[in-house]
Amino acid sequence: MISLILDNIWMILFVGLALPLLTYRSKFRKIVYQTNSWVINIKPVFTDELRGIIGGLSIDHPKYKRVRDYYRSYLVVYLVMVLFYFDFSGFTQTKKSDSSDTRIGVGSTLPSFSLKDQYGNTFSIDSVIGKQNLLIYFYPKDGSPGCTREACAFRDEFEEFKKAGTMIIGISGQSVESHMKFATENRINYPLLSDEGNKVRKLFKVPANLLGLIPGRVTYIIDKNGKVVFVYGSQVMATSHAEKALKIVKGLK
Q: What is the pTM of this model?
A: 0.68
111 and 211 part of one domain: yes
- The answer on 95 and 79 residing in a single domain is no
pLDDT at 98 over 70: no
Q: Are both 39 and 26 inside the same structural domain?
A: yes
Residues 109 and 37 in one domain: no
Is the domain of 81 the same as that of 101? Answer: no
Per-residue pLDDT, 156 = 97
Specify the pLDDT at position 3.
Answer: 62
- What is the per-residue pLDDT for 11? 81
List, for residues 36-79, the tens digit of each pLDDT value.
998 888 888 889 898 888 888 888 899 999 999 999 999 999 88
pLDDT tens digits, residue range 152-196?
Answer: 999 999 999 999 999 999 999 999 999 999 999 999 999 999 999
Specify whether 103 is located in the same domain as 13.
Answer: no
Cα gap 231→236, rounded to integer Å: 16
CATH number of the domain within which 176 lies: 3.40.30.10
Smallest CA-to-CA distance from 108 within 95, 90, 118, 123 is with 95
pLDDT of residue 95: 65
* Calpha distance 22→33 (Å, rounded): 16
Domain that holds residue 22: 2-88
| 138 and 57 together in one domain | no
pLDDT at residue 117 greater than cutoff 90: yes
82 plus 199 within the same structural domain:
no
Residues 68 and 131 in one domain: no
End position of a domain, from candidates 35, 65, 88? 88
Q: How many domains does the chain have?
A: 2
- Say which of 21, 134, 136, 147 is annotated catalytic: 147
The CA distances from residue 78 to 14, 15, 74, 117, 142, in Å, are 8, 10, 6, 41, 30
Query: Which amino acid appears at position 26 of this protein?
Result: S
Active site residue 152: no
